[in-house]
Amino acid sequence: MPYPQNLQTAKEVEAIVRENGAVPATIAILDGVPCIGLNNAQLERLAKLGINAQKTSRRDIPHVVAAGSNGATTVSATMFFASKVGIPIFVTGGIGGVHRHGETTMDISSDLTELGKTPVAVISAGVKSILDIPRTLEYLETQGVTVAAYKTNEFPAFFSGTSGCKVPCRVDTPEQCARLIHANLKLGLGSGMLIAVPIPEKHVSAGNVIESAIQKSLEEAKLKNVTGNAATPFLLARVNELTGGVSLAANITLVKNNAFVGAKIAVALANLQQCSKNGRLRSAL
């Protein structure tokens, strides 16, 4: 996302979180220092850096910190830092997954292994549709990750509300989501969970156009031998070009929707944890 659109979107997303009763904490690494809860100046600096900030997953954290560099954290790195300071809920657009033909390339996002070992609930629009969704869900099951869908029985596919894959768990309210997260934390399972929220209905019609662009982008990536952590940025940028900006608009919409739902869940979780704490205090008295 180009500057200043990226900065504007970030500010709007944070505003949505605040308006719905929660506290936003955007995460990044600046000058080698992990920052959890960027102020306005830091947010603007990150936005201006754009692609000059290193894409930073869990494996890259030591290098970026040691070099005093700037890092834009992926889902795995953001989960790691959120967990370190006790933030239980993380909102994003979509998570990484098993890439198409991953059975031969072994190109599997560290987001999935992070979900298996870090107790943070991720609210996203499912898995990016450029990926192999059935294999991604299989991998999450192997990692012991609870996967739930919000107000639907089908796992959403980022730009599309449907993927053809059923979910093992459906939640219909923020309170149900909060109970799910609370149970996971209270049991000490040590794993995270994924709550998939479908893109708002009014943007579903663009799904077919975007899917066609995705198929063409995948072919181009194969011809140009674009692999590894360069694949997703290349594919998303190319899809945006081919759709004349439709995919970027849909992306921004779903991120804002996820922020709205995530904030509601955060408030419900805080209320539930407070009630649980009060109950324990009464029992002790």
For residues 90-111, give the mean pLDDT.
92
Q: Is the same domain home to 195 and 78?
A: no
Of the candidates 144, 79, 74, the residue with the CA atom closest to the CA atom of residue 109: 74
What mean pLDDT is reported for the chain?
Answer: 93
Say whether pLDDT at 281 is over 70. Answer: no
Contacts of 269 (CB under 8 A, 6+ apart): 88, 89, 177, 178, 181, 182
pLDDT at 147: 98
- The answer to whether position 216 is within a domain reads yes
Rounded CA separation 179/28 (Å): 29
Contacts of 215 (CB under 8 A, 6+ apart): none
Domain count within the chain: 2
Confidence category of residue 237, pLDDT binned at 50, 70, 90 = confident
| Residue where a domain terminates, one of 46, 69, 86 | 86
pLDDT at 214: 87
Say whether pLDDT at 279 is over 80. Answer: no
| Residue where a domain terminates, one of 86, 111, 130 | 86
How does pLDDT run across 117-149, given as a tens digit for each residue? 999 999 999 997 789 999 999 999 999 999 999
Rounded CA separation 61/196 (Å): 27
pLDDT at 233: 83
Confidence category of residue 215, pLDDT binned at 50, 70, 90 = confident
Confidence category of residue 284, pLDDT binned at 50, 70, 90 = low
Q: Is the same domain home to 173 and 265?
A: yes
pLDDT at 235: 87
pLDDT at 104: 86
Q: Is the same domain home to 73 and 116?
A: no
Q: Which two tokens stand for residue 125?
A: 């629009």
Contacts of 212 (CB under 8 A, 6+ apart): none
- The answer to whether position 199 is within a domain reads yes
CATH of the domain at 111: 3.40.1790.10
Say whether pLDDT at 188 is over 80. Answer: yes
Q: Is the same domain home to 106 and 161?
A: yes
Q: Is the same domain home to 68 and 126?
A: no
Q: Is the same domain home to 64 and 138?
A: no
Say whether pLDDT at 208 is over 80. Answer: no
How does pLDDT run across 49-84, given as a tens digit for each residue? 999 999 999 999 999 999 999 999 999 999 999 999
| Residue where a domain terminates, one of 71, 86, 101 | 86
Rounded CA separation 242/198 (Å): 23
Q: Is the same domain home to 99 and 77?
A: no
Before 4, cis peptide (omega within 30)? yes
Q: Is the same domain home to 106 and 82?
A: no
Print the SS3 string covering the chain.
Answer: CCCCHHHHHHHHHHHHHHHCCCCCCCEEEECCEEEECCCHHHHHHHHHHHHHCEEECHHHHHHHHHCCCCEEECHHHHHHHHHHCCCCEEECCCECCEECCHHHHCCECHHHHHHHHCCCEEEECEECCCECHHHHHHHHHHCCCEEEEECCCECCECCECCCCCECCEEECCHHHHHHHHHHHHHHCCCCCEEEECCCCHHHHHHHHHHHHHHHHHHHHHHHCCCCHHHHHHHHHHHHHHHCCCHHHHHHHHHHHHHHHHHHHHHHHHHHHHHHHHHHHHHHHC
- The answer to whether position 246 is within a domain reads yes
- The answer to whether position 77 is within a domain reads yes
How does pLDDT run across 17-45, given as a tens digit for each residue? 999 999 999 999 999 999 999 999 999 99
- The answer to whether position 1 is within a domain reads no
Q: Which two tokens stand for residue 122?
A: 């991720």
Q: Is the same domain home to 147 and 47?
A: no
- The answer to whether position 141 is within a domain reads yes
Q: Is the same domain home to 267 and 149?
A: yes
- The answer to whether position 48 is within a domain reads yes
pLDDT at 229: 75
pLDDT at 48: 97
Handedness of CA 3, 228, 134, 242 (dihedral sign): positive
Between 1 and 181, the more confident residue is 181
Q: Is the same domain home to 43 and 149?
A: no
Q: Which domain holds residue 42?
A: 26-86
Confidence category of residue 283, pLDDT binned at 50, 70, 90 = low
pLDDT at 201: 84
- The answer to whether position 171 is within a domain reads yes
Rg of the Cα atoms in the chain: 18
pLDDT at 151: 98
Q: Is the same domain home to 59 and 101?
A: no
